[in-house]
Amino acid sequence: MSKKSRKRVFLTFLTMIATAAIVLTFFPGLLDRTGLASTLHTLSSKLLNGQENPDKGASLDKGAGKSNLNLTKTSQSQVDANQFTPPEDSSYLMLNLQTGERLLEKNGDTHRAPASTVKLLTGLLVHEKLQVDELITLGEEVKVEGSVLGFKPGDKILVKDLFTAMYVYSANDAANALAVAAYGTKEQFIQAMNSYAAKLGCQDSQFKTADGMPAEDQYTTAKDLAIIAAKVTETPVLMDYINQKKASVEWTDANGWKQVREISNTNQLLGIYPGDQGLKTGTTTEAGQCLVTYITSEDGDLLLVLLGSKQRYTDTVELLDQGMAKIRTRSALKNILSSPDAFYNIPGFFVP
């Protein structure tokens, strides 16, 4: 064997070893949980053991480009469902927004109560109708149940503060105020809501409220909600509200007094999981625990819709770990195949 042939064989063997090392490193199903994943698992468990406030978007006691995604169904083997224990009695769908590929899925077409995740759609409609610096005088529409910030008829408030209240605090009174301000009545808003969703490509949803409170025959699917959420990620004005961990809401009450509320985001995972840009929580007795999550990274952007969970933060972390493992491995393999020299630039391998 010539010297040149021996060198080629050696490089091929080295590449095979490198590929195996990368796969073992990035697939948590093949190795014990390490570092960040373990920390996140512990944190999410703590949140569920009394340290997490349920999303107030609708209280438990009161029952309370990317948008044109390729959602072609994948086989069970393609989503590698056996690599982890899927959440029981829930629906989820994870997409790589850069490719439209389904990475993980379970019951993606099952009808589910949407809870406060509906507010993603509410924001899209209102955003097209109102300017953020418009001053709104509130009416009877703010007399609603569930999570409320305490607005009353006659209060005056800017649209931007209503958006902040709706997305950070998940305020139902803010959602209904925006709906009526944009479309005149709740009924006209609901009609526009369903028409808008259909135009986006949602084929199996029916919305009856602007805030997600339980209503007869109100339902969506993980697939349809992913289409809506993907559209929101393309709307920077809405994302600016959604990814705030803390915020202030100001308005003037009917008596002329200035009111200020300091609020925190209902999404306990925001700012904890790397690349988490937030999106929307939702909780009702009917819907269970819901969480829509948007992750950005160098290897790809992930969108995860989780509906009907019993432990949304633990389930979300587990699913995101699986999704990140997939796109990281594919990115690393693509780099190696395109250029063997790229192998030496992968952090953690063959450091001199």
Cα separation, 313 vs 158, in Å, equals 33
Residue 91 is a catalytic residue: no
Tell me: the pLDDT tens digits for 230-289?
999 999 999 999 999 999 999 999 999 999 999 999 999 998 999 999 999 999 999 999
- Residue that the structure tokens 């014990």 belong to: 32
**Catalytic: 119?**
yes
Active site residue 5: no
Cβ partners under 8 Å of residue 6, min gap 6: none
- Please calculate the CA angle 86-26-314 and round it to the nearest 5 degrees: 35
Which of 116, 147, 205, 309 is the catalytic position?
Answer: 116
Catalytic residue among 56, 106, 119, 326: 119
Q: What is the CA radius of gyration of the chain?
A: 23
Catalytic residue among 44, 91, 147, 170: 170
Contact predicate 162/174, CB 8 Å: yes
pTM of the model: 0.76
Q: Is 326 annotated as a binding residue?
A: no
Kindly state the helix (H) or strand (E) to which residue 74 belongs, with its residue range: none
pLDDT tens digits in sequence order for the chain, 352 residues long: 666 666 665 666 566 666 655 555 554 444 434 334 444 454 444 444 433 344 444 433 333 344 555 554 443 334 443 455 656 679 999 999 998 999 999 999 999 999 999 999 999 999 999 999 999 999 999 999 999 999 999 999 999 999 999 999 999 999 999 999 999 999 999 999 999 999 999 999 999 999 999 999 999 999 999 999 999 999 999 999 999 999 999 999 999 999 999 999 999 999 899 999 999 999 999 999 999 999 999 888 999 999 999 999 999 999 999 999 988 876 555 555 555 555 445 444 333 3
Q: Are 23 and 328 in contact (CB under 8 A)?
A: no
Distances (CA, A) of 346 to 186, 324, 349: 55, 16, 6
Helices within the chain (DSSP H only): 3-26, 35-46, 119-127, 159-168, 172-183, 186-200, 222-233, 236-242, 312-338
Q: Which domains does the chain have, with CATH numbers?
A: 91-336 (3.40.710.10)
